[in-house]
Structure 1
């Protein structure tokens, strides 16, 4: 996969495949649609109508890389929705993780997202906790260090991910410092 815009034909084929039943084609489509920012409105329509977990996850994966902050509240809502599958909620946390540096730490958007992630640290799903820990590390906000430190006690393995909630918490503490430096450098 290249990191360039897909052709209109490739984009249209991927939009069809992401809604299909072939999991391999769905993953490929999701990865291709990461580079099709013009597909955002279509993906949002698909997400609104779609109920299948793997398809919702694939759509959110593509949207994560579009970097549109207009979906911030949507992603926070998905993360907070305990009726959503852990896979989907985890992907919503990933969106937040990769977009935190575009949100000021003194903003309402930042606070709402952090509150949702802190609540997700108590989730029964290790996948949701793992993704929440990852996202909190990407905030670059040092006051969150104690929450990450506390999660080092959670040695629950996370199926489908490398390591445990604890190992991700340790890694996220390092990321927190690195991202904080980037925030300072960018005046954000």
Structure 2
């Protein structure tokens, strides 16, 4: 098992992609590492490491990562897999954010922009995240994405198929939002 003090710096920011993945998975369940991971994210530039850091942060459920995720998603200098991971991170947090908040609006804006990204991976992840909003006004946007039949290399499915799943998820999450008053 990886421990923060002895293994994190060498494992998560090392050069071995398999070790980065193992470290990210181990740290994904340790919410006490959020601040450390955010600090590493500020200085680390390697794509695999940035993606691993974001992966671990996604599972912390910490709204303090919201702005970081939005910023990374919207930054065209970031690698597609890093931007896709940021979109995934937002998808896990949407149910904790009110739909009438500026945070919600900013994230939705960045995700809608990502729907035009040249990378099918980014589009796929953005579609998924929009489905996690539970916000019915986004259904037409997702319906439009049903026309994007681009497969994602190494993944199962297309952007179009994910858009169909996202619409179903959005509708179910909307019912939850109504029930919870969000």
* TM interval, short-chain normalised: over 0.9
* Residue deviations 1:76-112 (CA, integer Å, cap 9, x gap): 0100000000000000000110100000000000000
Separation in 2, partners of 1:142, 1:110 = 14
* Residue deviations 1:104-157 (CA, integer Å, cap 9, x gap): 000000000001101110111100000000000000000000000000000000
Give 1:71 shift: 1.3
Give 1:41 shift: 1.2
- Which of 87, 94, 97 is residue 100 of structure 1 equivalent to? 94
Gaps of 5+ in 2: none
- Which of 67, 73, 79 is residue 79 of structure 1 equivalent to? 73
- Which of 11, 29, 42 is residue 17 of structure 1 equivalent to? 11
Equivalent residues of 1:11, 1:36 under 8 A apart: no
Q: Which moved more, 1:155-164 or 1:50-59?
A: 155-164
- Which of 136, 145, 148 is residue 151 of structure 1 equivalent to? 145
* Residue deviations 1:21-76 (CA, integer Å, cap 9, x gap): 11111111100101111111111111111110000000000011111111111110
Give 1:15 shift: 4.2
2:136 match? 142
Equivalent residues of 1:15, 1:29 under 8 A apart: no
Equivalent residues of 1:153, 1:166 under 8 A apart: yes
* Residue deviations 1:8-28 (CA, integer Å, cap 9, x gap): x62332443111111111111
Normalised to the residue count of structure 2, the TM-score between the two structures is 0.96
Separation in 2, partners of 1:70, 1:14 = 21
The answer to whether structure 1 residue 60 and structure 2 residue 37 are counterparts is no
2:103 match? 109
Separation in 2, partners of 1:134, 1:15 = 31
1:120 match? 114
Gaps of 5+ in 1: 1-5
Q: How many residue pairs align between the two structures?
A: 181
CA RMSD of aligned residues (A): 1.1
Separation in 2, partners of 1:47, 1:141 = 30
Specify the SS of the correspondent of 1:176. Answer: helix
1:51 match? 45
The ranges of structure 1 where at least 4 consecutive aligned residues each deviate by more than 6 angstroms after the TM superposition are: none
